[in-house]
Amino acid sequence: MTENDPSAHDPAAPRHPETGRQAAQGGWPGSSYGEQAQPESGGAPQYSEPSYHAVTGADPSYGAQHANPWSAQGAQMPSGQNPQSVYPPPNPYGQPGTAVYDAAPPQPKRSGGKLLAGVALVALLVGGIAGGTVGYLTGGTSGPVTNALNAPKPAQQTGNAPAGTVEAVAQKLSPSVVELQVSGQQGAGEGSGFILSTDGYILTNNHVVEVAANGGQIQAVFQDGRKAAAKVVGRDPTTDIAVVKVSGVGNLTPVELGRSDDLRVGQSVVAIGSPFELAGTVTSGIVSSLHRPVRAGGSTGDQTTVMDAVQTDAAINPGNSGGPLANMAGQVIGINSAIYSPQSASGSGQGGSEGGNVGIGFAIPIDQARRTADTIIKTGQAVQTFIGAQVKDAPQGGAELGAISPGSPAEKAGLKAGDVVVKIDDRAIDKADTLVAAVRTRAPDEKATFTLADGRTVEVTLGGQPVQPN
């Protein structure tokens, strides 16, 4: 026999377990030796579309009839209604397009199960033998025995938490955060809010209390367990802000308001609220992005809510709506209002959406909320900043103006239908919602320079008009 003889046997070659014969090149017939594993075909990746949800347990009336891509309520709804309703009412500025993010989850790789199982078995057996050997070698040694169960407890924590920590923020802010339990003819649910004044004013989201705005009931539950009835003072569907007031409760602790015009991406923040009725829940994260145009909240009317949101990865969920987002000094810099919720791979529309936290949440900047709340408390009514022009996404980017209202700030400034706005002051305008958010975050009577696609600049004095909630 020669080296190239196929019948030659290698003394080291494996032998058949029954006959003792060595396998020829290629292995025994039917055995696993020499066979090539065939890859299993996998299905095409499933793509899913995202939806956006307002993070409250309340079930406002706008959710039942109008699909709001931002509103996902955790409320108890009448039979036949989906609490995670979507809200597409027309925008007073026009009908901007809808952004869609696609996600392509990777398919799991298929591998030889028997081989992996064999490796696992070998590992377990080796571990058992080694463990036994070590036990045999060391079992007879002598020496002192230390048992953690016999050790004394460490000293009890005393004093305040170190400044600038999540613990310190929670200690400072938690007594000012309340759970709001709401009910009305169209449903019931819960959300969050925070105390503005010692005499009982509480700031929250419009979509938290909207279901109880017309004859419903609101109950505020404080950190110490006290409860008090609350009434709506005023609300603004266009900015998703509302103020309620409780009476007969003393020793209230107002929050300290910060500012949102100097926030930095990456700075640490803390969120406090009542997700899924778990009152007083504290989570932390960072500012993920700023000036994010987001549609959230809303009402059954024809106004679209667009906020110039602070994006955060702090965990917020249904029931967190209306609660504070704070900096590490414990100052409130935003109102948690909405979350991004991708649809499940097997579902479509509302039936396939999942309303839990995925690390993308949105808060109303406190500078805008402060101005709106102050107006509501003083007058009982919110004032909306506007320019008086319809708007839509421009094909080449920017916001294209439509019909201009007579006597409006847009007309007085010389803007015309068909003009495309690409910048307001130093802020780039890439679509219609960005223009709406940029206008609404400013105060009435402010002056702003609009840059048009043809290179012209126009100075506009922004207007203000009372908001009439439905």
Q: Return the DSSP state at 276.
A: G
| SS3 assignment, position 34 | coil
Cα of 40 vs its chain's centroid, Å: 38
DSSP string computed for 109-120: PP--HHHHHHHH
**Numbers of helices and strands, H then E, in the chain:** 7, 23
Query: Is 341 designated active site?
Result: no
DSSP-derived pairing of the beta strands 324-326 and 306-312: unpaired
- How far apart are alpha carbons 245 and 218 in whole angstroms? 10
Alpha helices in 48-180 (DSSP H): 62-65, 113-138, 166-173
Catalytic-labelled residue, pool 61, 284, 321, 353: 321
Q: Which residue has the tokens 């810099």?
A: 333
Using an 8 Å Cβ cutoff, are 216 and 182 in contact? Answer: yes
CA 129 to chain CA mean position, Å: 50
321 is catalytic: yes
Cβ–Cβ < 8 Å for 325, 312: yes
CA distance 311 to 285: 10
- Check if the beta carbon of residue 42 is closer than 8 Å to that of residue 285: no
What is the torsional sign of CA 329, 330, 331, 337? Answer: positive
C-alpha 213/C-alpha 200 separation (Å) is: 18
Q: Provide DSSP, 159-175.
A: SPPPTTSHHHHHHHHGG
Catalytic residue among 240, 393, 419, 433: 240
Residues forming beta bridges with residue 448, ordered by sequence position: 460
- State how far the Cα of 76 lies from the Cα of 86, in Å rounded to an integer: 16
Instruction: Count the Cβ atoms, other than its own, within 10 Å of residue 290.
Output: 15
Q: Is 224 a catalytic residue?
A: no
- The active-site residue, picked from 176, 207, 260, 341, is 207
Cβ neighbours, 10 Å, residue 144? 4
CB 211 within 8 A of CB 186: yes
> Residue 257: helix, strand or coil by DSSP?
strand
**Pick from 280, 294, 364, 308: which is nearest to 53 by CA?**
294
Task: Categorise residue 260: left if φ over 0, alpha if ψ from -120 to 50, beta otherwise.
Answer: alpha
* Length of the chain counted residue by residue: 470
Mind telling me the catalytic residues?
A: 207, 240, 321
